[in-house]
Structure 1
Amino acid sequence: MPILVPRALSAVPARVWSHGEWERIRLGYRSRTMDEKWEIFAEGNTLFMHRSWTGYGIYEVSFVEANGGFGIAESVVESDRGRYRSRSDELECVMIELMMRSLLLGEAATELRGLSEKLWGAYR
Structure 2
Amino acid sequence: MDDASRWSKLKPMEGPRWPIRCGHVFTAEDLMRLREGLWPRDMDDRWAVWLDGETLRCWRSWTGTCIYESQVTLAEDGTGVAVVVDVLDDGDTYRRATTDEGELERFEGVLSQVRRRESEADALAGVSIIQEA
TM-score, normalising length: structure 2: 0.69
Q: Does the 8 A contact of 1:8 with 1:74 survive in 2?
A: yes
In structure 1, the partner of 2:52 is 43
Among 68, 92, 95, which residue is 1:85 paired with? 95
- Is 2:3 aligned against 1:7? no
The answer for the alignment partner of 2:82 in structure 1 is: 72
User: Which letter maps to 1:95?
Assistant: R
The residue identity in structure 1 corresponding to 2:93 is: R
Matched, 1:56 2:65: yes
Instruction: State the AA in 1 paired with 2:87.
Output: V
Counterpart-to-counterpart distance in 2, 1:21 and 1:48 = 14
1:46 aligned partner, one-letter code:
T
Q: Classify the secondary structure of the residue corresponding to 1:8.
A: strand
Percent identity between matched residues is: 27
Q: 1:33 aligns with which of 12, 27, 42?
A: 42
Determine if contact 1:5/1:80 at 8 Å carries over to the other structure. Answer: yes
Shift of 1:47: 1.0
Aligned residues: 104
Aligned to 2:31: 22
1:5 corresponds to which letter in structure 2?
Answer: P
User: RMSD of the alignment, in Å?
Assistant: 1.9
Secondary structure in structure 2 of the residue aligned to 1:54? coil
Deviating 4+ runs (over 2 angstroms):
65-68
- Determine which structure has more spread, i.e. the larger CA radius of gyration: 2
Is this contact kept in 2: 1:25–1:105, CA < 8 A? no
What is the CA-CA distance between 1:15 and the residue it aligns to? 4.1
Which structure 2 segments of 5+ residues have no match? 1-10, 118-133
Q: Which amino acid letter does the alignment assign opposite residue 42 of structure 1?
A: L
TM-score by length of 1: 0.73
**How many angstroms does 1:35 deviate by?**
2.2
Structure with greater helix share of residues: 2
